[in-house]
Amino acid sequence: MDKGSRKLVVLGAAESGVGAALLGKKEGWNVFVSDGGKIKEAYKNELNSAGIDFEEGGHSEDKILSTDCIIKSPGIPEKAAVIKKIRAAGIELCSEIEFGYRYKGNSKIIAITGSNGKSTTTKMIYHTLSVAGYDVSMVGNIGNSFAKQIAEAPTEWYVIEVSSFQLDDIQSFRPDIALLLNISPDHLDRYEYKYENYIAAKFRITAYQTKDDIFITNRDDKEISKYLETNPINARTIYFTMSEHTNPNTDGAFIDNDHLNINYDGENTSMSIHDLSVQGKHNQYNSMAAGISARTAGIRSAKIRESFSTFEGIAHRLEFVASVRGVDFINDSKATNVNSVWFALESMKKPVVLILGGQDKGNDYNEIKELVAEKVKAIVCLGVDNKNIHEFFSAIVPTIVDTQSAKDAVLAAYSLAEKNDVVLLAPACASFDLFANYEDRGDQFKEAVKSL
């Protein structure tokens, strides 16, 4: 796409949309931003400072349908009326990461996707590259948007957390190193409730890779293995696994005798899992993925071991909040699907009072049925509609109560807990029925715990 008088419309004025607008302006596009809702003041200020026209509270279809290229927010579904009209008009439509990719220059990209563990793995890779002295930024769903980083402070390396929504509208986005951590049912409401559509969306991270690129993925994930049997990809594939030991001459990562091992380019990196700064089986998977990524990016063993021992976890992901009269409170608000809750429960060593619920995305709770039966003594529902939770768990868990605020959920859970129990917020659902987002839900949970 050429610079000059070409017109660019950006739909949605949150982080990704404003970032795309700023990059478009810098690259000489005539930019207009349109948001169907209200734009936050901070984003309005950024657009005004850059001299970018915008509207809020609706879309001016005449402006939108008379442009050369449209970038849409990942949150706008394909079935939205304005998107259907854009498709019918044949106007080019792409995602913000696609637009950013076109202006990245000679920089390198490590892109991470998966149903669970994306943010932790992204932050872990970023931390490792930073410790090794790389010129690197962390962008995408965590940190700045990719486009905004390119517009304002370009770096030699980008570590990008990408969602399936962002991958839906790529046309050339090609990571040098792509990671697919795992696949479990999530966002099925966005994919016509067809699991195979969601799986294919995740694999779009490899769509434009070549034999010169690297694809790192989980050999233990059944859906990934099944897909690769019939859908070969171009990139060189490297696996991490807990279910088998990797041949010392084979590149990959594995756990053996409580040691995390990374083989790459004839060098083995090994460290005790007890020396990892974040614990739990899920973090062993995240560490294997991050470690093999770091090695393929040219980082030596000593720096990887150093970074893994100093890494700090992320907020709202198995975050210890407080212990109140012998009851531990743990915030895993980022557990917005059932598979995340499986990992959270798997790491619990004490009886659990589980806070569950929110906006259900077509959840199948069978995946956690055994762990709930084994570890959960009571469920506190936190949501507007808790019918599915009651129907599924009533025969397994003796006590299930309903709440509709973080404060009430914490009070109910505390009253049901005894000394040496854990109150675990791991909702398995989106937060939008009662909260602005999962961060808001987690923050309100933490405030409620602190007020006990």
Per-domain residue ranges of the chain: 7-94, 99-310, 319-450
Is residue 138 within 8 Å of residue 129, measured between CB atoms? no
Q: 318-347 b/e with 16+ CB inside 10 Å = b? A: bbebeeeeebbbbbbbbbbbbbbbbbbbeb
Q: Which CATH superfamily is domain 319-450 in?
A: Mur ligase, C-terminal domain (3.90.190.20)
d(CA 128, CA 136): 10
Phi-psi map region of 27: left, alpha, beta (phi>0 left; psi -120 to 50 alpha): alpha
- The DSSP H or E segment spanning 296 is helix 281-296
pLDDT one-digit tens code per residue, 50-59:
999 999 999 9
Cα-atom radius of gyration of the chain, to the nearest Å? Answer: 23
d(CA 354, CA 419): 15
Amino acid letter for position 123 = K
Q: Which segments within 102-258 are labelled E, that is strand?
A: 108-113, 136-140, 157-161, 177-180, 214-218, 236-241, 252-256
CATH 3.30.70.2740 is right for the domain spanning 7-94: no
Q: Residue 83, class by beta-carbon neighbours within 10 Å (0-12 exposed, 13-18 middle, 19+ buried)?
A: middle
Q: In the structure encoding, which two tokens stand for residue 211, read together?
A: 């034999």
Q: Residue 47, class by beta-carbon neighbours within 10 Å (0-12 exposed, 13-18 middle, 19+ buried)?
A: buried
Q: How many CB atoms lie within 10 A of CB 131?
A: 17
Tokens 């990524």 — which residue? 293
Comparing 7-94 with 319-450, is the CATH topology the same? no
Hey, what CATH class is 99-310 in? alpha beta
pLDDT one-digit tens code per residue, 304-351:
999 998 988 777 888 889 999 999 999 999 899 898 899 899 888 899
Q: Note down pLDDT in tens along the chain; length 452 residues.
A: 445 579 999 999 999 999 999 999 999 999 999 999 999 999 999 999 999 999 999 999 999 999 999 999 888 888 888 899 999 999 999 999 999 999 999 999 999 999 888 989 999 999 999 999 999 999 998 889 999 999 999 999 999 999 888 998 899 999 999 999 998 876 666 666 778 888 998 999 999 999 999 999 999 999 999 999 999 999 999 999 997 765 666 899 999 889 999 999 888 899 999 888 887 888 899 999 999 999 999 999 999 999 998 988 777 888 889 999 999 999 999 899 898 899 899 888 899 999 999 998 778 999 999 999 999 999 999 999 999 999 999 999 999 999 999 999 999 999 999 999 999 999 999 999 999 999 999 999 999 999 99
DSSP at 369? H
Tokens 């046309």 — which residue? 171
Q: How many CB atoms lie within 10 A of CB 398?
A: 11
Please indicate, yes or no, whether the overall pTM of this predicted structure exceeds 0.85: no
* Strand partners for 322: 329
